[in-house]
Amino acid sequence: MDKKLKESIANAARSIGNSLPVLTGVILLIGLIETFVPKSIYPTLFSNNVLLDPIIGSGLGSILIGNPVTSYVLGGELLLQGVSLVAVTAFIVSWVTVGLIQLPAEATLLGKKFAVARNILSFIFSIIVAITTVFIISL
């Protein structure tokens, strides 16, 4: 096996390995929430308002951290609990496009104004992308 392939396998294993603790934690937490939190609570968190729901979803996706795999599992489970598709879409899009944790590194290497502007725009666009996507598939 060549050295590059070994490195690639190691990189992939590291990436998956790094995401496993959060993914495991989130899935275990979903189990607890499923048992303790009545399903009727979700409609109270999300209003079914086509504008407000993606804002809440984007807000959540922007502050939560972890590998995108976690966001898909969490988003998918929220969808199964009756949360609207537009909120879940905004949630998974902002999770991967808004990088508050990487902001200092991004600001140092690419410029503070650029990093801040890019994250603000990404937040706004996560809402626009969610509304547009759900609108198109509902046609």
Partner 1 sequence: MGEQSYSGIYFLLSVLALYTLVGIFRIESILPSLMFSFSIFKNVIPVLVLIFALMAAMDYYVSPKSISKHIGKSSGYKKWVFAILGGIISTGPIYMWYPMLKELKKQGVGYGFIATFIYNRAIKLPLLPIMLLYFNVQFIAVLTLVMIIASLIIGLIFEKIEDKL
- Give residues 74-133 in contact with partner 1 (rule: CB under 8 A): 75-77, 79-80, 85, 89, 93, 95-102, 105-106, 109-111, 113-114, 117-118, 121-122, 125, 128-129, 132-133
Q: State the maximum Cα–Cα separation within the chain, in Å, rounded to a whole number.
A: 55
The total of other beta-carbon atoms located within 10 Å of residue 111's CB is: 12
Restricting to residues 6-65, which ones interact with partner 1 according to CB under 8 A?
7-9, 11-13, 15-16, 18-25, 27-32, 34-36, 61-62, 64-65
Give the chain's length: 139
Question: Contact region for partner 1 (CB under 8 A) — 2-10, 38-46, 48-56?
Answer: 2-10
For residue 11, report the phi and psi dihedrals to the nearest 5 degrees.
-65, -45
Q: What is the dihedral of CA 71, 7, 105, 59, to 10 degrees?
A: 0
Nearest by Cα to 84 from 137, 8, 36:
137
Tokens of 138: 């509902």
CB of 46 to partner 1, least distance (A): 17
**Between residues 46 and 67, which has the closer beta carbon with respect to partner 1?**
67
**Between residues 48 and 132, which has the closer beta carbon with respect to partner 1?**
132
Q: Which one of residues 53, 56, 58, 66 is an interface residue with partner 1 (CB under 8 A)?
A: 66
